[in-house]
Chains A and B, each alone.
Chain A
Amino acid sequence: MLALQFHTQLVGPALVLGVAAAGLYGLLAVSLVLTYRVSRTIGFVHGGIAIFAAHFYWWLTYDSGVRGRWNPSAGQGRVGQWPGLLVVVAAGAVIGLLYGLTVTGKRMGNWPRLNLTVYSLAWLLGMVAVTQTVIEPQSTRIPSIFGKRVYRIFGGVITIHQVATLLILLGVIAVLAFVLLRTQTGVNIRAVADDVEASRFVGVPLTRVGAGVYAFSAGLSAFAGALVTATVGMLVPELLTVFLRALTVCVLGGLASFSLALLGCVLLGVGEACLTAGVFGPMSIGRQEVVLMTALFGLVLLINRLRPIKVLEVETL
């Protein structure tokens, strides 16, 4: 099935491409890690927000709407790309806030994790359904907001879009690290992540912290959704694949570590770039997926084997 080839001359470009591609999954991965830390559930809602954001961003900035005050040059979208991006991020944050208010409220705060996960999946499906009902899905890739410039590093050609996304990701992680470690908000978030009940007793405003984290991370997901349209377009299966990749990179750190998620992004990006660039010989998309899937299974098996089971947990999720 796999030809045993190894093209060393392609390793350099693949590494560059892989590191550059890490930003694509990284922003979504940060959102997932952030909300997992406060809720111990996978925030599938972020997938929905990213898909909604991709469509909404396309509708705002690329769809053949009226010529607006803010888009004097493009002449196609309803608004320009930067205002459009701002609106999309704000809309994502509002959705995240609404979601956060419901899941951290009195009624759902003590729900089992399975129910919260299914609730999150319901939001994902709902947003995809509403988005697809209102906006016709397109395979169009939207031009990057950062321009068309490209760079050649070690034989690999990377775009300004990839560089900017990666820099933004690093910036977001640095800011989050500062907030989490050096501010009262960060202390509150970490307290909630450690023990919800205990933090409630010591006066941490659970709803405010939870909803705030969801709003911030949803804004980040919307941002990622808008940016990803320049790379993969806006077809739901493709966007869901990106979301899956983001989830996958979080596995490395058990969905709880930004740094391990970042490492996962780089590893996955490099792995994917190696397969796409043909380091191991030419390979169909299906086979690439099987190889990546096998690697993921291998990683999970390794975690399964290495992680000492000190105690049998009550809940499955």
Chain B
Amino acid sequence: MTAATMKRPAVIGAVLAAVTAVWLFTAPQYWLFTATTGLTLGISTLGLLVLVGWAREVSLAQAGLTATAIYLCGFAMRSGAGWHWPYLASAAFGVGVVVALSLLVSLSTAKLSGIYIIILTLALQITIEKTFFSDITLVQTDPDHTIHRPALFGVHLTSDRAYFLFALAVLVLGMVFLARLRASRFGRGLILAGTDRQAAAAVGVSPWRAKISAFALAGVFAGLAGVVTAPLYPTPPSYISYLSINSLVYLAIPVLAGFRSLVAVAVVAMVFSVAPQAFEHLHISPLLLGAIGLLSGTLTGPTGVSGLVLAWLHSRRARRPADEDRDAAAVDLRDPSGGDDASRRERHARALAVLEAYLPERSDAREVLVASDVSIAFGGLQALADVSLTVPTRKLVGLIGPNGAGKSTLFDILNGLRQPDSGSVLLFGQDVSQAPPWNRAALGLSRTFQSSRVNLDLTVGENLMAGAYLMIPGSVAEAVAGLPRAKAGERRAGEAARAVAELLDVAGDWDEFVRNLDFGAQRRVEIGRSLLSGPRLLLLDEPAAGLDAAEAAALFALVRRLEQDLGLTVLLVEHYVKAVLENCDLIYVLARGRIIAAGSAAEIAADPEVRAVYLGEDYQPRTEERVDA
């Protein structure tokens, strides 16, 4: 980054701050008030961004939750029928109730699909309407007992200008918090769980906990918006703006803005608040604005309008000379015939050393995985019948068999994504038969999938770092505050991610969106993500699928090195039989849901049953041509 590019955001920020300051001292009171409502809308919809954009869940209760906080906080603050509490206590009460309601919905549907959560949030919204909105003590406009704007830390927020600044400060603090959270392992885990729950579980992220956290966060932001709004009005505002249909307008804001940019959410929220007032003569209905927003946001994809802008900026940046040099270097790296072999070997050796230091202690147990008598049926189809399999430590083990043999199903059971009808699984000596996949990942089991399961809307670097969830220590507070333990963990994971990118030949594409990579590179990124989770046993489901012969050979060479140099145990499913026979120390053959053979490559190749059902009678093994030679 040059000095000029480093200065640019600072200059833009300074200009924006100056414009805001000038506007603040010249704007009419009416506009200050309208802009403040825009800020509170921004705060509430930031919570929805977490829910819709990151966790990929839909809530239809955000308007109702915001209103709940407004009425409860206002009631607690008011004298007369209210409790006359101080502002901070009232605010804590309002936010607390809203978070509790959010948690109630998410906890009761944690394991169910999103349709239940949508229905329950709509039910919650309508219940709020029929209870809080119809409770006269909450919504009454008693001129004798108005709500007074508070003084916080000696600063009186009585004027509209002061209150605008207060709302702006809450919005900015919320954005900083979310930006820090998103850059942490928690944010990355949440986004991964939202994109692909199985992939998240495979690297140690509990999708259920992620969902509950997202709802809690959405509740916090709805509550904050409510408690900032409550003292804005002397008497409680009309509930007309917080009905169920308005929750859809709230939803439109992050959908239109896109999940990549917090600033875009705030800007769109401000536009939604200001536009109907600014263009009053055009009679712009907020509902119509919301509908157009939802429709446009859906059509532009999950990254929304901000995604289009960022992609444009990205494409502009990609044309710069410095990046052209970087791309040239990346081409060298991918091309085995190009570049300096010695320097590449040196880079790979360095990367392996970094990865070795990053990975946890390899297991000393003789057998890292033992599956016994595993059976599962889908209706009348017996997919697996009494399958037993042992993976010895520090070995490369292959699992082959015809299509439909049950290989991926067995992987799902070993990994914990699927519960078998019977049988047990021991991992590093522990019985994990009932353990969810994220607990197995915590023990050191990671996996990839048959089809590429990376987040196409994130960069290579972001995808790789998403895998490091379990390897970075520290709580949410430590991560957001950037305390030493979390910071050091992030740095260590970042170095390991760079090393993995180097090993997998995607280092040159570090800042590239995965969507723009070829299929082979996407597969490598997925393997890299698994490596970043700190596995002691790696399950690779058809890692060479979709790769050409050279890429597959390079991949197997790398897997072999991981096993030999780092002592990583690998179990892989693969249809590229030649590579399996040439590289694996032990091979299992699965056919019609049963293990029909197990042994070395030579034994498997000579097995008559294997030849009959899978390899073919004419198969000629050429084990002397090792791919990694």
Contact = CB atoms under 8 A, between A and B. Distances in A.
A121 B251 contact: yes
A63 B156 CA distance: 53
Contacts of B290: 125, 129
B450 to A, nearest CB: 12
Interface stretch (A169-177, A220-228, A298-306): A298-306
B104 interface: yes
Contacts of B134: 284-286
Contact of A297 (B108, B291, B419): B108
A296 B436 CA distance: 28
B111 A121 contact: no
A184 interface: no
B58 A317 contact: yes
Nearest to B421: A310
A316 B114 contact: yes
Nearest to A301: B108
B427 to A, nearest CB: 17
Most chain A beta carbons < 10 A, residue from B130, B199, B249, B295: B130
B294 A290 contact: no
A237 interface: yes
A10 to B, nearest CB: 22
Contact of A126 (B56, B119, B291): B291
A191 interface: no
A293 interface: yes
Interface stretch (B167-175, B190-198, B352-360, B568-576): B190-198
Given A303-B112, A304-B108, A314 B126 contact: no
Interface in A118-133: 118-119, 121-126, 128-130, 132-133
Interface residues of B, number: 64
A107 to B, nearest CB: 9
A248 interface: yes
B295 A312 contact: no
Contact of A251 (B57, B119, B245, B285): B119
B119 A122 contact: no
Contact of B109 (A300, A312, A314): A300
B213 to A, nearest CB: 14
The secondary-structure label for the interface of chain B is helix
B248 interface: yes
Interface in B278-293: 283, 285, 287-288, 290-292
A116 B291 CA distance: 14
A4 interface: no
Contacts of B307: none
A250 to B, nearest CB: 8
B534 interface: no
A37 to B, nearest CB: 13
Given A129-B288, A133-B285, A285-B134, A251 B116 contact: yes
Interface residues of A, number: 52
B426 interface: no
Nearest to B409: A311
A301 B111 CA distance: 10
Contacts of A315: 56, 113-114, 196-197
A244 interface: yes
Interface string B234-276: 0000000001110011011001000000000000000000000
B294 A122 contact: yes
A194 interface: no
Interface string B123-155: 110110111001100000000000000000000
A229 to B, nearest CB: 18
Contact of A300 (B112, B131, B201, B301): B112
A304 B111 contact: yes
A197 interface: no
Nearest to B132: A286
B97 interface: no
A247 B55 contact: no
B417 interface: yes
Contacts of A251: 116, 119
A68 to B, nearest CB: 30
Contact of B120 (A115, A128, A296, A307): A296
A156 B527 CA distance: 67
A119 B295 contact: yes
B109 A237 contact: no
B244 A237 contact: yes
A212 B252 CA distance: 29
Contacts of B187: none
A304 B243 contact: no
Contacts of B301: 115
B255 to A, nearest CB: 6
Nearest to A107: B299
A286 B130 contact: yes
Given A114-B56, A124-B248, A125-B290, A132 B120 contact: no
Interface in B40-70: 52, 55-58, 60
Nearest to A51: B245
Contact of B294 (A121, A132, A240, A312): A121
Interface in B78-135: 104, 108-116, 118-120, 122-124, 126-127, 129-131, 134-135
Given A126-B295, A133-B288, A312 B120 contact: no
Contact of A314 (B127, B197, B251, B287): B197
B126 A241 contact: yes
Contact of A312 (B55, B201, B251, B292): B201
Contacts of A119: 294-295, 298
Nearest to B202: A312
A309 interface: yes
A133 to B, nearest CB: 5
B302 interface: yes
Nearest to A115: B298
B412 A316 contact: no
A125 B294 CA distance: 9
A31 interface: no
Nearest to B207: A312
B395 to A, nearest CB: 28
Nearest to B196: A314
Interface string A5-48: 00000000000000000000000000000000000001000000
15 contacts: A117-B58, A122-B291, A126-B295, A128-B245, A129-B285, A244-B126, A286-B135, A289-B127, A290-B127, A297-B104, A300-B108, A300-B120, A312-B437, A314-B198, A317-B118
Interface of A: 42, 113-115, 117-119, 121-126, 128-130, 132-133, 236-237, 240-241, 244, 247-248, 251, 255, 284-290, 293, 296-297, 300-301, 303-304, 307-317
Given A240-B245, A316-B56, A317-B56, 5 more contacts: A125-B248, A240-B244, A287-B131, A311-B418, A314-B199
